[in-house]
Amino acid sequence: MTIAEGQWREVALSDGEYAQICELLGREPSEVELGMFGAMWSEHCGYKHSRPLLKTLPTEAPWVVEGPGENAGAVDLGNGYAAVFKVESHNHPSAVEPYEGAATGVGGIVRDIFTMGARPIALLDGLRFGPLDEARNQYLYSNVVAGIGGYGNCLGVPTVGGEVFFDESYNGNPLVNAMCIGIVPIDGIVRAAASGVGNVIMLIGAETGRDGLHGATFSSVDDPEASHRGVIQVGNPFLEKQLMEACLELLAQGSVVAMQDLGAAGLTSSIVECASRGEVGVDIDVARVPRRESGMTAYEIMLSESQERMVLVATPDRVQEITEVLNRWSLSASVIGTVTDDGLIRVRDGEAVHVEVPVRYMIDECPTYAVKAEEPDYLAETRRFDQSDIHDISPGALKSTLTSLLSSPNIGTRRSIWEQYDHTILTNTVFGPGASDAAVLRQKGFPGGIAVSMDCNSRYVYLDPFEGARHAVAESARNVVCAGARPLGLTNCLNFGSPERSPANYQLVKAVEGLGDACRALNIPIVSGNVSLYNETDQQPIYPTPMVACVGVLEDIDSRMAISWAEGDDIWLIGGGEPSLGGSEYLAHEHGIVAGVPPRLDIEAELRMLQMLQVLAGSGGEIGAHDVSAGGLAVALAEMAITTGVGATIESDIVRERLDITWFGESATRVIVAIAPERAEHITLLAGEWDTPIVHLGQAGGDSLILPGTEGMAIEELRDASESALKIKQAIEVA
């Protein structure tokens, strides 16, 4: 079949890219080849704009078992086991079909974990929506949350943490980032590299349908007018549970050579990537692919993104064994091809050959583009903000301002979200949502555990992409340390607008630079990640959102720290971060202003504070910890009081020249610590040893939070304000 003029643009290839393909092949591609090139050279699969930037990030450390390039990254937990983890986006599908988009995002990230031989033990999610006073945003929010809970709950993997943020920039383009973490013996990790000439390629799991066609390409184009409803996949979490258990059984008994899930670009990406990693060729016969719809073409079969499917590479003598295991789990298995030694991806439909292309053309020859980094005009305007133009609040307004901030959707409790998630199934969860700054999971059979947190202040990144990205790394690590853990590794999801124009091109370049700078300073490598570009509505990009998730290890689960204090505890402020109104929730929520520059991050001081807190956590005894972030010091104190039901009297004279900056200004490098009074000397000695500022704030007790110059705020009033933040009428129908 001859390719029609401009047909390549329908699969997100430019004129120049199509010409490059023709030059490589020495001929026009077939229709199936064109579709496969479109998928593999898409931004989603080929990372055309981001790949050169990602190569600058630090990815190595002595404890890194697997870095970027595999289905997920892995770090050594120090006891013969590795934590395997990754975060990915499902933004574009969720904007169209929020329930299924979010649900299949969960299913996809879980497959990335168990395909490496790891048992998934927890999920987290990072979400972004437009303001909840709009019906459409209520619909997206309600159904995304329901989709995450619906899939994870049915699958039997707990959702233990995450974060959510609301801003007008996400109107029409929500972000749904799903993270999964699993556990595996280090010698049990399986890589997705096809090998062994003559080995068979098997497709297992669900039958193939027409859902998901060109999902990888539609999320990689700058086409605000296109309708993408037809590409949304429909998930089946119960089938995924069967698939997960069957795959883990096969991997445990050594039945397979390699395993790869079918995600974006379906069979195309899984086969091509496996062959590329193993430096081999593959011969596929789509006539052998089980399908649930009649009349499907080779094009549709190769590009379908039907869910709950996996590709296996195995020696021919293990096929019967594999089939028997799958049959026990009520799953089908089909041999659809073989591994070859010619380096070609060959796709046949019976006797008819539709594809015959060197594998490296689809991977190594994928073009990359330099992203421009010219500073956009809006930054000059936002930097002109002078916080002295904002009138300070009076002592009498402290209470009303605090309760107002606690009722902000960006600060108040997320209880209405996490109550829809089963966060205790599998019985590994020690700290679930809301109990600590990071989720804490026990590692059964060992005294230690794992802490994991996901963070990004999108407003900071908008106002200063470099500094905002550094803040995302620092806060994610800080939250893990506040749970008592030592950070081991990061995974990230880079959510930006079009890299082809301002301001997203500048934001992307500078944010990646910021990520790398902070990771190197804190000695925490990035071991996996994902990039989602073209997040725009009518060419208006979302706030740049480099989501960062940190995984840390606790040597002893008893050394964990929670957002808590007990009657009579001393309350300390650790760290010397200077509060600022720039980019704060106070400025946005109370004054409707997003301006200024993010608080300054002294990364060396941050490292010293994190090291001090790790030593403190390991010193024994009950210790509470909570970082000071969105909303500032007053909000952090209120959150500790609400969580424990115990008030506090703050007596320290820490008020600067302005009350609003003191209590609601935001900063990095500040943590509230609650500890028994008899340990005052110990904590002050540690602070001196690590050259970290420390201030005694007051003492926990009573049923009110009393700030200097106030009569006190009852905990119940503070809790009611926080509980009101996300109370909306659940929007079931499409708005």
Backbone angles phi, psi at 477, to 5 degrees: -65, -40
Give the type of residue at 136: R
- Enter the pTM of the model: 0.95
Residue 699 has pLDDT above 70, yes or no: yes
Place 5 in a pLDDT band, splitting at 50, 70 and 90: confident
Cα-based angle 38, 205, 95 (whole degrees, multiple of 5): 50
Rounded to an integer, the average pLDDT of 158-172 is 96
Active site residue 92: no
Instruction: Encode pLDDT of 222-271 as tens digits.
Output: 554 444 444 577 889 999 999 999 999 999 999 999 999 998 889 999 99
Three-state helix/strand/coil letters over 445-469? CCCCEEEEEEECCHHHHHHCHHHHH
pLDDT-derived band at 312 (thresholds 50, 70, 90) equals very high
What CA–CA distance (Å, rounded) separates 643 from 532? 35
Q: What's the CA gap between 4 and 6, in Å, rounded?
A: 6
Q: Position of tokens 């002109």? A: 384
Are residues 40 and 217 in contact, defined by beta-carbon separation less than 8 angstroms? no
How distant, in Å, are the alpha carbons of 443, 508, 612 from that of 533? 36, 9, 38
Quick one: how many helices (H) and strands (E) in the chain?
Answer: 25, 28
Cα–Cα distance for residue pair 228/218, rounded to 1 Å: 7
Per DSSP, helices labelled H in 205-318 are: 215-218, 237-252, 266-278, 298-303
* Angle between helices 465-482 and 603-617 in degrees, nearest 10: 10
Are the CB atoms for 166 and 174 separated by under 8 Å? no
Question: What is the rounded average pLDDT of the residues 627-633?
Answer: 97
Cis bond before residue 52 (omega within 30° of 0): no
Chain-centre distance of CA 651, in angstroms?
39
Mean pLDDT value of segment 178-198: 95
CA distance 74 to 84: 4
In 10 A of CB 226, how many CB atoms? 8
Q: How many residues in the chain?
A: 735
Give the H/E segment covering residue 689.
Answer: helix 680-689
pLDDT at position 223, please?
Answer: 53
Angle at 235 between CA 230 and CA 236, to 5 degrees: 145
In the annotation, is 44 catalytic?
yes
Question: So what's the pLDDT on residue 263?
Answer: 83
Q: Cβ distance 199 to 256 under 8 Å?
A: no
The alpha carbons of the chain give a radius of gyration, in whole angstroms, of 26
**Identity at 719, one-letter amino acid code:** R
Options 90, 228, 423, 589, the catalytic residue: 90
Q: Six-digit token pair at 163?
A: 């974060």
CB 174 within 8 A of CB 98: yes
User: What is the DSSP secondary-structure string of 641-671?
Assistant: HHHHT--EEE------S-HHHHHH-B-SS-E
Report yes or no: 497 and 476 within 8 Å, Cβ to Cβ.
no
Place of tokens 């005294």: 447
If residue 674 lies in a helix (H) or strand (E), which one and from where to where?
strand 671-675
User: Mean pLDDT throughout 200-224?
Assistant: 72
- Catalytic residue chosen out of the listed positions 44, 92, 423, 589: 44
Under a CB-based contact definition with an 8 Å cutoff, are residues 490 and 519 in contact? Answer: yes
Helices 632-644 and 715-723 sit at what angle, rounded to 10 degrees? 100
> What pLDDT is attached to residue 734?
44
| CA–CA dist 219, 88 (Å, integer) | 13
Average of per-residue pLDDT across 408-421: 96
Q: Is the dihedral of CA 126, 130, 134, 140 positive or negative?
A: negative
State pLDDT tens for residues 57-103: 999 999 999 999 999 999 999 999 999 999 999 999 999 999 999 99
Task: Indicate whether 500 pLDDT > 60.
Answer: yes
Helical residues (DSSP H) of 498-645, grouped into ranges: 504-522, 585-591, 603-617, 632-644
In this prediction, residue 733 carries a pLDDT of 47
SS3 content of the chain, % helix, strand, coil (to 5): 40, 25, 40
Cis peptide preceding 503, ω within 30 of 0: yes
Structure confidence by residue, pLDDT tens digits, 635-692: 999 999 999 999 999 998 888 779 999 999 999 999 999 999 999 999 999 999 999 9
Write down the residue that tokens 């049915």 correspond to: 154
Residue 222 is predicted with a pLDDT of 57
- DSSP code, position 329: T
Q: Please state the rounded mean pLDDT for residues 476-504.
A: 97
Longest dimension (CA), the chain: 85
Bridge partner residues of 131 (DSSP): none
Q: Residue 87: helix, strand or coil by DSSP?
A: strand
Q: Angle CA(208)–CA(211)–CA(216) in degrees, nearest 5?
A: 105
CB 634, CB 663: distance < 8 Å: yes
Cα(218)–Cα(43) distance, rounded to whole angstroms? 10
- Rounded percentage of the chain residues whose pLDDT exceeds 90: 87
pLDDT at position 307 over 80? yes
CA triple 445-447-453, angle to 5 deg = 100
